């Protein structure tokens, strides 16, 4: 399925509800190959994709849910958000969250409903394919930037195939648990997850579009 780059960028969105339909392995392999064409410093190509479906994915989801139910504390191996979060960014974070909950009919004071929705991160939002993204712990901070470019390539390649996807940063909150459940090599750190599948067009959360800053807010032009 051919789409222009600008169309792909504008169409891409975070998909949090999926049809119950498998994704062919050959399609996922092609997405991974395209993602790996992303640039990286010194061509180090950091990061690995551990791709699960069927029983393998169900076992991981079951293990994560059991760990959460048992009260296992979150363990962050790297810093995702600034601490403390500046007020302007906190407002942006809250606006995105409230927009999602509003689309789902979850009231702002419905803490249990919000908790249930957040836990869907750890079930890969019911997607038929779950990806666990890792990076070698010995890599420098710049390699996270390179991995991020590869992740964007993954998301755009999925969009080009008519698939939907969303990154799951929350998966890193239980990185050691994921590491144990998948018996990952000791030098790999869990960075995030990706949910991948065919979008459910009737799901209200899939119609949500978050806003972006206008050009003057994040650019500076000189010499033009």
Q: Is residue 199 part of a domain?
A: yes
Confidence band, pLDDT 50/70/90 cuts, at residue 3: low
Nearest alpha-carbon partner for 49 in 206, 209, 167:
167
Query: Phi then psi for 72, rounded to 5 degrees?
Result: -60, 125
pLDDT band at 37 (very low <50, low <70, confident <90, very high): very high
With 80 as the cut, is the pLDDT of residue 2 above it?
no
In a domain, 97, yes or no: no
Within a domain: residue 188? yes
- Across the beta sheet with 188-197, the strand order is 48-53, 129-136, 188-197, 164-168
- How many domains in the chain? 1
34: number of Cβ within 10 Å:
17
Quick one: tokens of 185?
Answer: 């090599």
Residue 17, pLDDT > 70, answer yes
The residues facing 48 across adjacent strands are 134
Quote the pLDDT of residue 114.
Answer: 94
Q: Does pLDDT of 61 surpass 70?
A: yes
Mean pLDDT value across residues 110-125: 96
Q: Report yes or no on 154 lying in a domain.
A: yes
Percent of the chain clearing pLDDT 70 (strictly above): 99
Mean pLDDT of 192-202: 97
> Mean pLDDT, the chain, as a whole number?
95
Cis peptide before 79 (omega within 30 of 0): no
Query: Containing domain of residue 128, as a range?
Result: 5-80+124-208
Residue 220 covered by a domain: no
CA distance 98 to 86: 18
Instruction: Look at residues 135, 146, 151, 129 and name the one whose alpha carbon lies nearest to residue 197.
Output: 129
* pLDDT surpasses 90 at 48: yes
- Give the HSE-up count for residue 180: Cα atoms under 13 Å, Cβ half-sphere: 6
Question: What CATH number is given to the structural domain containing 66?
Answer: 3.40.109.10
Query: Do 196 and 130 meet the contact criterion of CB atoms below 8 Å apart?
Result: yes
Q: What is the per-residue pLDDT for 76?
A: 81
- Is residue 222 situated within a structural domain? no
pLDDT value of residue 108: 87
The answer as to whether 87 is a domain residue is no
| CA-to-CA separations, 105 to 98, 110, 113, 166, 205, in angstroms, rounded | 10, 10, 9, 21, 10
For residue 130, being part of any structural domain is answered with: yes
């Amino acid at each position: 399925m051919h789409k222009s780059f600008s169309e792909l960028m504008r169409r891409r969105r975070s998909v949090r509800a999926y049809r119950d339909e498998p994704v062919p392995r050959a399609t996922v392999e092609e997405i991974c190959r395209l993602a790996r064409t992303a640039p990286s410093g010194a061509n180090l190509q950091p990061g690995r994709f551990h791709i699960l479906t069927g029983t393998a994915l169900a076992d991981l989801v079951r293990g994560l849910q059991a760990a959460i139910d048992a009260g296992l504390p979150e363990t962050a191996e790297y810093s995702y958000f600034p601490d403390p979060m500046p007020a302007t960014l906190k407002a942006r974070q809250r606006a995105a969250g409230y927009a999602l909950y509003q689309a789902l009919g979850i009231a702002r004071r419905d803490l249990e409903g919000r908790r249930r929705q957040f836990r869907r991160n750890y079930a890969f939002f019911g997607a038929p394919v779950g990806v666990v993204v890792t990076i070698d712990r010995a890599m420098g901070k710049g390699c996270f930037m390179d991995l991020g470019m590869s992740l964007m390539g993954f998301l755009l390649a999925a969009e080009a195939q008519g698939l939907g996807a969303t990154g799951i940063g929350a998966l890193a909150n239980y990185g050691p648990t994921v590491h144990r459940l998948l018996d990952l090599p000791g030098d790999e750190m869990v960075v995030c997850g990706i949910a991948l599948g065919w979008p459910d067009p009737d799901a209200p959360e899939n119609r949500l579009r978050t806003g972006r800053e206008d050009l003057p807010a994040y650019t500076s032009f000189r010499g033009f």
